[in-house]
């Protein structure tokens, strides 16, 4: 190697950060003086343990180390360093009698090996190679970072370009898809798809340039319209535009007024086309959707249906009864409101029994009581109205009423009560406060009446926003402090993340009905339930089998070791009157 200029070498190495590890104070002092000729940033460690601790706290470019040292030798330290960092340059400074460690050093990927006492020429040669390696790595790292910045900047520019339609300046189809993806599922999307009638004829008669002018003028007109009416405007395809907004519910009157305003706007604002030197009067056909799922596709179906029926607009609908979703939503919104006013939101109770067949608790289930045209009572399950209640923001009121009524009914019955709650309930501060007070009251009542083992059990859906279980577990603490028990409902239906269960620390796991209902025929269901029961027992968690509909299913789940059972084999959901009548009958027997 040609002579190495010390001044040049120092200029390249002075900014590097060095860790020097040596237990011999005299050797350490001598070597440190030599290192100081080249490096301005030197950290000293007196043994391998000290060196490892300093390396863990700071980034170093080069590590110089002795081998034989107390607490932790140099090779042990380098092994730990290599586990964390394969880039840092590592150089051993060893005595002649430590040359036997050379092979192990190679295995660890050591960059250099200097013998004591250090000779300046081998030291400079090794330092020169090490500095070149470090500079090359830093250059590559800087280049990689530059490339990543450029890619990021270009990606942002491309995304910005994708968000706007080049011709009209309206939002692009891509931007519309992005907007839909971020829509809050609790909100109602309102989508009006506008198709310019006969646009292909304009293109054919006047040419593409004139057609582009029409599209540009149309977009400019509806940008202002969208702003004043609370919508966003997107160009979906050549001659189709979308007006989009979200709402807390479906306001049909406002939507109908919007459609009327669209037609009036086009009637009074012809589009001037410079290419042909005159104005054109446009008309549109409108497809309307209020659906969270695939709203654009549904609005397109409605728009095509309107064209086929020679109508100006149409609202998407489906259903076995041929009612529109909008009509169904309006009906149940009114019916739920009236049921709350008339106290027709009632709990039904389904018994849960232990292994001896004794009823230990009841699960409260929501029902709405109606009267038909002959004034006969009709009981409606949540399957008919719950989704609409959530959409129309009436779910909280229903849940509030059910919980209060169920607890009041069951407080004096001498058994525990299970209530279904979800993350929406947990997020409602008023409901949480009410529930905590009712749980405390229920517990105190049972203590005073000699039944302290009766509790409120809160059932949480296992697949209900599982990614928020860490938040849910913190929220449940205050209910546990009020003496409530926690059950995970429908366990096995979703992710079945056992670590989340451990975090929540429930007292019960309710095994999902899909696993129980065919356990007598499906081997996979049998093995899954068996595994869940074993897991629960190892954590001292009781298991409850739902949907036990026959003696065969009961016998199987009993033998597996399930603790409690629920299903039609033991009792259907029933109103409080039937429970009271049954209690009287049992006493009579």
CB atoms < 10 A from the CB of 296, how many? 22
Q: Where are the alpha helices (DSSP H) in 484-569?
A: 498-504, 513-516, 523-538, 551-560
**Structural domain count of the chain:** 3
Phi/psi region, residue 45 (left: phi>0; alpha: psi -120 to 50; beta: rest), is beta
Task: Say yes or no to pLDDT of 285 above 50.
Answer: yes
| 177 shares a domain with 130 | no
* Within a domain: 341: no
* Within a domain: 504: yes
Mean pLDDT, rounded, for 399-403: 91
User: Is there a contact between 306 and 287 (Cβ–Cβ < 8 Å)?
Assistant: yes
| 105 shares a domain with 235 | no
Q: Per residue in 443-464, pLDDT tens? A: 888 888 887 778 899 998 755 4
CA 146 to chain centre: 33
Helix axes 74-84, 48-57, angle to 10 degrees: 20
In whole angstroms, give the CA distance from residue 401 to residue 389.
13
User: Helix, strand, or coil here: 101?
Assistant: helix
Helix axes 429-448, 395-410, angle to 10 degrees: 0
Mean pLDDT, rounded, for 467-471: 57
| 277 shares a domain with 135 | no
* Within a domain: 21: yes
Average pLDDT, the chain: 85
Q: Per residue in 12-67, pLDDT tens? A: 888 899 999 999 999 999 899 989 988 999 999 999 999 999 999 999 999 999 99
In whole angstroms, give the CA distance from residue 191 to residue 242.
7
Edge-to-edge strands, sheet with 232-237 = 232-237, 240-247, 188-196, 284-289, 313-315
| 290 shares a domain with 215 | yes
User: Is there a contact between 545 and 562 (Cβ–Cβ < 8 Å)?
Assistant: yes
Whether cis (ω within 30° of 0) applies to the bond prior to 117 is: yes
CA 359 to chain centre: 38
pTM of the predicted model as reported, rounded to 2 decimal places:
0.47
| 556 shares a domain with 430 | yes
Structural element, H or E, at residue 245? strand 240-247
| 583 shares a domain with 434 | yes
User: Is there a contact between 419 and 405 (Cβ–Cβ < 8 Å)?
Assistant: no
| 257 shares a domain with 355 | no
| 211 shares a domain with 91 | no
In whole angstroms, give the CA distance from residue 559 to residue 201.
75
β-pair type (112-115, 188-196): unpaired
* Within a domain: 255: yes
- At which of 117, 139, 161 does a domain end? 139
Q: Where are the alpha helices (DSSP H) in 164-273?
A: 173-181, 199-206, 208-229, 252-268
| 69 shares a domain with 124 | yes
| 304 shares a domain with 243 | yes
CATH code of residue 531: 3.20.20.450
Q: Per residue in 117-159, pLDDT tens? A: 888 888 888 888 888 888 888 888 888 888 878 777 776 666 6
pLDDT of res. 3: 61
User: Is there a contact between 273 and 212 (Cβ–Cβ < 8 Å)?
Assistant: no
Q: Per residue in 562-580, pLDDT tens? A: 999 999 999 999 988 887 7
- At which of 259, 292, 316 does a domain end? 316
User: Is there a contact between 244 and 231 (Cβ–Cβ < 8 Å)?
Assistant: yes
CATH code of residue 91: 3.40.50.2300
In whole angstroms, give the CA distance from residue 294 to residue 476.
35
In whole angstroms, give the CA distance from residue 162 to residue 246.
22
In whole angstroms, give the CA distance from residue 256 to residue 261.
9
CB atoms < 10 A from the CB of 392, how many? 20
Provide the Cα torsion 555, 560, 562, 566; round to 10°.
Answer: -30
> Of 251, 233, 82, nearest to 164 (Cα)?
233
* Within a domain: 397: no
| 211 shares a domain with 109 | no
pLDDT of res. 320: 28
> Of 99, 91, 117, nearest to 33 (Cα)?
117
> Of 214, 220, 215, nearest to 237 (Cα)?
215
Q: Per residue in 191-221, pLDDT tens? A: 999 999 988 888 878 888 989 999 999 999 9
Tokens encoding 478: 């205050």
Residues contacting 276, CB < 8 A, separation 6+:
206, 210
The CA–CA distances, whole Å, from 287 to 190, 193, 222, 315 equal 11, 5, 16, 6
User: Helix, strand, or coil here: 431?
Assistant: helix
* Within a domain: 159: no
Task: Say yes or no to pLDDT of 93 above 50.
Answer: yes
Residues contacting 499, CB < 8 A, separation 6+:
none
pLDDT of res. 468: 55
Task: Say yes or no to pLDDT of 498 above 70.
Answer: no
The CA–CA distances, whole Å, from 21 to 17, 53, 55, 80, 97 equal 13, 11, 11, 14, 18
| 566 shares a domain with 469 | yes
Task: Say yes or no to pLDDT of 370 above 80.
Answer: yes
The CA R_g of the chain, rounded to the nearest whole Å, is 37
- At which of 139, 160, 188 does a domain end? 139
User: Helix, strand, or coil here: 347?
Assistant: strand
* Within a domain: 370: no
Which residues span the domain enclosing 475? Answer: 348-364+413-588
In whole angstroms, give the CA distance from residue 99 to residue 92.
11
Q: Per residue in 312-328, pLDDT tens? A: 888 887 642 344 566 77
Query: Any idea what the Cα angle at residue 485 is, between residues 481 and 487, rounded to 5°?
Result: 135
User: Is there a contact between 246 and 190 (Cβ–Cβ < 8 Å)?
Assistant: yes
* Within a domain: 39: yes
The CA–CA distances, whole Å, from 564 to 185, 511, 528 equal 35, 10, 17
What phi, psi does 371 have (nearest 5°)?
-125, 130
What phi, psi does 108 have (nearest 5°)?
-80, -5
Please, what sign has the CA dihedral across residues 49, 50, 53, 55? negative
Residues in the chain, how many? 589
Q: Per residue in 514-531, pLDDT tens? A: 889 889 988 888 998 998
């Amino acid at each position: 190697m040609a002579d190495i200029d010390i001044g040049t070498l120092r200029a390249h190495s002075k900014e590097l950060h060095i860790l020097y590890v040596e237990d011999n104070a005299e050797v350490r002092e001598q070597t440190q003086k030599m290192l100081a000729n080249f490096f301005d940033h030197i950290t000293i460690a007196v043994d391998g343990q000290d060196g490892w601790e300093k390396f863990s706290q700071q980034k170093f470019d080069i590590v110089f180390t002795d081998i034989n040292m107390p607490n932790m030798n140099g090779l042990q330290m380098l092994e730990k360093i290599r586990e964390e960092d394969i880039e840092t340059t590592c150089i051993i400074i060893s005595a002649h009698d430590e040359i036997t460690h050379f092979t192990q050093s190679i295995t660890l990927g050591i960059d250099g090996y200097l013998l004591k006492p250090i000779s300046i020429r081998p030291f400079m040669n090794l330092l020169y190679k090490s500095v070149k390696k470090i500079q090359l790595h830093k250059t590559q790292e800087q280049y990689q970072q530059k490339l990543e910045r450029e890619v990021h900047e270009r990606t942002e520019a491309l995304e910005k370009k994708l968000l706007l339609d080049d011709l009209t300046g309206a939002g692009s189809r891509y931007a519309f898809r992005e907007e839909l993806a971020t829509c809050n599922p609790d909100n109602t999307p309102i989508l009006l798809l506008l198709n310019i009638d006969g646009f292909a004829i304009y293109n054919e008669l006047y040419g593409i340039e004139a057609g582009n002018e029409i599209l540009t003028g149309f977009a400019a007109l509806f940008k202002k319209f969208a702003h004043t009416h609370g919508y966003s405007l997107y160009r979906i395809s050549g001659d189709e535009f979308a007006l989009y907004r979200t709402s807390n519910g479906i306001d049909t009157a406002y939507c109908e007024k919007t459609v009327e305003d669209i037609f009036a706007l086009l009637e009074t604002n012809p589009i001037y086309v410079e290419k042909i030197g005159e104005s054109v009067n446009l008309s549109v056909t409108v497809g309307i959707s209020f659906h969270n799922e695939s709203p654009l596709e549904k609005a397109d179906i409605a728009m095509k249906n309107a064209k086929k029926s020679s109508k100006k607009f149409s609202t998407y609908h489906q259903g076995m009864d041929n009612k529109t979703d909008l009509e169904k939503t309006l009906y149940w919104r009114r019916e739920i409101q009236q049921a709350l006013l008339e106290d027709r939101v009632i709990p039904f109770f389904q018994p849960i029994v232990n292994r001896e067949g004794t009823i230990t608790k009841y699960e409260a289930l929501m029902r709405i009581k109606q009267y038909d045209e002959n004034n006969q009572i009709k009981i409606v399950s949540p399957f008919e109205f719950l989704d609409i209640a959530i959409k129309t923001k009436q779910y909280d009121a229903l849940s509030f009423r059910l919980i209060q009524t169920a607890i009041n009914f069951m407080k004096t019955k001498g058994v525990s009560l299970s209530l279904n709650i979800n993350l929406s309930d947990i997020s409602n501060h008023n409901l949480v406060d009410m529930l905590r007070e009712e749980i405390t009251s229920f517990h105190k009542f049972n203590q005073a009446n000699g039944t302290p083992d009766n509790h409120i059990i809160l059932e949480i859906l296992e697949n209900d926003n599982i990614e928020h279980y860490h938040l849910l577990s913190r929220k449940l603490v205050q209910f546990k402090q009020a003496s409530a028990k926690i059950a995970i409902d429908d366990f096995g239906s979703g992710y079945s993340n056992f670590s989340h269960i451990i975090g929540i620390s429930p007292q019960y796991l309710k095994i999902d009905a899909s696993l129980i209902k065919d356990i007598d025929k499906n081997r996979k269901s049998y093995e899954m339930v068996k595994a869940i029961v074993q897991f629960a027992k190892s954590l001292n968690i009781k298991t409850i089998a739902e949907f036990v509909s026959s003696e065969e299913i009961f016998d199987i789940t009993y033998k597996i070791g399930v603790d409690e059972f629920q299903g039609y084999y033991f009792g259907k959901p029933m109103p409080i009157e039937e429970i009271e009548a049954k209690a009287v009958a049992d006493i009579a027997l």
